[in-house]
Structure 1
Amino acid sequence: MNKKTAAGFLSLLLIFVFCLAGCSPNKTQAPESKTVTVTDMAGRQVVIPTPVNQAVAIGPGSLRLYCYVNGIEKIVGVENFEKNNPTGRPYALANPDLKNLPVIGTGGPNSSPDAEKLVEVKPGVIFCDSSLDKAAADSLQSKTGIPVIVLSYGSLGTFDNTIFDSLAIIGQVMGEEKRAQEVIDYIKNCQQDLRDRVKDVAEEEKPTVYVGAMGMKGSHGIQSTQAKYPPFVLLRAKNVVDETGKTGSVNIDLEKLIQWNPDKIFIDEAGYDLVQQDFKKNPVVYKSLTAIKNGEVYGQMPFNFYTSNIDTALADTYYIGKILYPKHFKDVDPVKKADEIYTYLVGKPIYAEMARDFGGFGKLTLD
């Protein structure tokens, strides 16, 4: 082979090699980036790079909703509030390892996000509660360079349909649409089951009811109550407070409760000690109530702890239904139902822990 022929052959060989290299996949090439765009509960359109492998949830109730959908595996930091005693917060009771995660801010009601600490843990997304309006969420996103998603419990804070929208958004962002829909369906199925059980209850079968010692940014005595109380609404119960025409938290005079004189009284157990203290100051007044004379005072577990615990609210509603309409709930064991609900939503049957902390389902005595 002469030099000219050899040079030509070498040129063809090099071309062939380069062609093979061009046709072969480049294993070091970065994968194509993907994003998901969601409209959050503040009406903001937010673009999130996916998949999201690290997340945080800040502000009242955000971490709870996140845990319902996605557990805690991808949570990389928590507010200092979440490191406090988990009493009354089923998602925290079921996930004690939360307290071992890095601190990303103060947390608690009326606190402000800590942009610097949020950046330190490098989340792919920040979920926050609706106390951050559009402007505040935009500001936090600008300061951190991390997508911020606003969630909401809605105006009722317990069984408001807004919660379902928030759960769906979490599922969409985290790639857990199936689990999010399952959670939504589970809650809706419980609600429908409760409605179906009471739909044929005659008006004359319904006792008048009252719920006292309702928590609202702290514990309160028997005069703290709620009009249009969600469990009572779902059970079509005769809530004496509804005659006020109000919705939500109401503080009444003790004389008004005496005037209403409900057949059955439910006490939020977070405020039971305060009720006991007040009873000792006014035993004659309290003993004039028919419910107290007849032993018709019942404890229910508090569900307003750092916004509403949907699981406890559902468990309480089944228990209240059992007390008000026993023959319509004869197949329901409230304790087993509570553990079923807790297991589905937070992964563990924690009724015993809730009962240890508050007293659980049962009659209460005032003395």
Structure 2
Amino acid sequence: MKNISSQFKFFVVALLTIVIITTACSSKAPVQQKQETTTAQQETKPQKINVTDLAGRQVELTIPVNRVVGLTSALRFITCIDGAKKVVGIEDINLKATDGLTYNTAYRDELSKLPVVGVGGSKAAANPEKLVEVKPDVIFTGFSDKSQADNLQTKTGIPVVVLSYGTSIFDEDFYKSLKLVGKIMGDETRAQKVVDYIKNCQKDLNDRTKGIPNDKKPTVYVGAVSHAGSHGIESTRGNYPPFVIVNAKNVADETGKNGSIDIDKEKLLSWNPDIIFIDEGGLPLVKQDYQKDPKFYQSLKAVKDGHVYGLLPYVYNGTNIDTAIADCYYVGKVLYPEQFKDIDPAKKADEIYKFFYGKPLYETLAKSSGGFKQITLGQ
């Protein structure tokens, strides 16, 4: 009898323990679920923010942003941070673009299906009516000043954010623009990764070449540089970014000018550089000119010695930063083979394109423009 009583007491205690534990667990579960729901609601709840764009304008907009348009080259910033899926309208220039426009090459299938909201290009005016029709949460624009942006924002009633490439391929304004797009589109992590990648490439290129003595460097010239279209051998650039970053001896820097320069051909003869690079966007014009005056070209040391090389055009509706970096590595490989002996320029280019867009693009670009190769002008 005593054993039965003890067993009964043990059973009651065990039963009460189970009830208490079950009750406690069931009472905590809804609290946890409520906390998780509240956190999720906080993460997705629309909120107004103010940002300062690259024109110095204060712009108020609501995040999260799910529908965007990129005008006048701003689409490049959007696609760099994996934002193509949020684009709701494109400019006509993207439908007509050749493969030199890398973001368009990477996302052609997706972008070509979108409604057209304007002509595009640095000098084309935006179409407010078409923009309103696609209902973007924000309009990013690349080649706009303060008054143009204010005017477009007033006409559409849609926040307009101005971005900038700066003056070089490694420019703080470019980085600021990427980070601003990342903040607005809710992907600051990806934006920072892109900035870090570009800066790491810049450091790598500089580190490989900064210790080379000047007397060990060949003199170099770049011709047929694109600016507002294609040009011939006379079109060059002072402080040409792919030369600057590999510490090259650019003969055009003697002019003391920055940016695009049109020189007399006789000046090129007097400089007579060891190596000439040709922007392949203007290569057909250079070859045509060669046929008219072969004697001029044959007087150039670089042409006689077979030291003329092609570069992928990187200026097309703004700066194709990916192609520009690929060009830097090819320039380094040609000028300083020992310092770049581990670099295969074509493979490096595809590494860069894969980082930016997840796709190898070099072969496609090389087919349309020529790619990284030695050039014989008479052929």
Q: TM-score scaled by structure 2?
A: 0.87
> Contact between 1:198 and 1:236, CA under 8 Å: does it hold in 2?
yes
Q: CA deviation at 1:35?
A: 1.9
2:122, 2:183 → 1: CA distance?
27
Secondary structure at the counterpart of residue 81 of structure 2: helix
Q: CA deviation at 1:317?
A: 0.4
2:65, 2:207 → 1: CA distance?
40
Secondary structure at the counterpart of residue 255 of structure 1: helix
1:70 to 79, 82, 95: 82
Count of residues in correspondence between the two structures: 338
Amino acid at match of 2:101: R
1:138 to 150, 162, 175: 150
Cα deviation code 1:25-84 (max 9, x no counterpart)? xx9x9985312221100111111111111100001x211111101331000000111111
Secondary structure at the counterpart of residue 100 of structure 1: coil
Cα deviation code 1:92-115 (max 9, x no counterpart)? 000012111001111123111111
Q: Write out the 4+ residue segments of structure 1 that deviate beyond 4 Å after TM superposition.
A: 29-32
1:178 counterpart residue number: 189
2:166 counterpart residue number: 154
* Pairwise CA RMSD: 1.7
2:319 counterpart residue number: 308
Say whether 1:91 aligns with 2:118.
Answer: no
1:364, 1:161 → 2: CA distance?
34
Amino acid at match of 1:99: S
Amino acid at match of 1:119: V
Secondary structure at the counterpart of residue 229 of structure 2: coil
Cα deviation code 1:321-364 (max 9, x no counterpart)? 00000000011111111001011112211000000001100100
Q: CA deviation at 1:160?
A: 1.9
2:254 to 233, 238, 243: 243
1:336 counterpart residue number: 347
1:215 to 212, 226, 230: 226
1:234, 1:35 → 2: CA distance?
41
> Contact between 1:268 and 1:302, CA under 8 Å: does it hold in 2?
yes
Bigger Rg over Cα: 2
Amino acid at match of 2:283: Y
> Contact between 1:116 and 1:144, CA under 8 Å: does it hold in 2?
yes
Say whether 1:101 aligns with 2:114.
Answer: yes
Cα deviation code 1:183-229 (max 9, x no counterpart)? 00000000000000001111121000000011111111111000110
2:311, 2:372 → 1: CA distance?
6
The runs of 5 or more residues in structure 1 that have no matched partner are 1-23
Amino acid at match of 1:44: R
> Contact between 2:246 and 2:332, CA under 8 Å: does it hold in 1?
yes
Cα deviation code 1:145-186 (max 9, x no counterpart)? 111100011133x22221000000000100110000000000
1:122 to 114, 135, 139: 135
> Contact between 1:90 and 1:309, CA under 8 Å: does it hold in 2?
yes
Secondary structure at the counterpart of residue 85 of structure 2: coil
> Contact between 1:297 and 1:363, CA under 8 Å: does it hold in 2?
yes
> Contact between 1:71 and 1:346, CA under 8 Å: does it hold in 2?
no
Percent identical: 53
Say whether 1:44 aligns with 2:57.
Answer: yes
Q: CA deviation at 1:271?
A: 0.9
Amino acid at match of 1:342: Y
Amino acid at match of 2:170: F
Amino acid at match of 1:193: D
1:191, 1:152 → 2: CA distance?
19
1:203 counterpart residue number: 214
1:55, 1:223 → 2: CA distance?
40
1:359 to 356, 366, 370: 370
1:257, 1:188 → 2: CA distance?
33
Say whether 1:296 aligns with 2:307.
Answer: yes
2:292, 2:119 → 1: CA distance?
38
2:155, 2:282 → 1: CA distance?
41
1:105, 1:211 → 2: CA distance?
34
2:242 counterpart residue number: 231
2:46, 2:326 → 1: CA distance?
43
1:34 to 32, 44, 47: 47
Secondary structure at the counterpart of residue 117 of structure 2: coil
> Contact between 1:291 and 1:297, CA under 8 Å: does it hold in 2?
yes
1:136, 1:250 → 2: CA distance?
28
Q: CA deviation at 1:244?
A: 0.4
The runs of 5 or more residues in structure 2 that have no matched partner are 1-33
> Contact between 1:105 and 1:117, CA under 8 Å: does it hold in 2?
yes
Cα deviation code 1:98-147 (max 9, x no counterpart)? 11100111112311111111010011000011x32222212211211111
Secondary structure at the counterpart of residue 56 of structure 2: coil
Shifted more, 173-182 versus 343-352: the winner is: 343-352
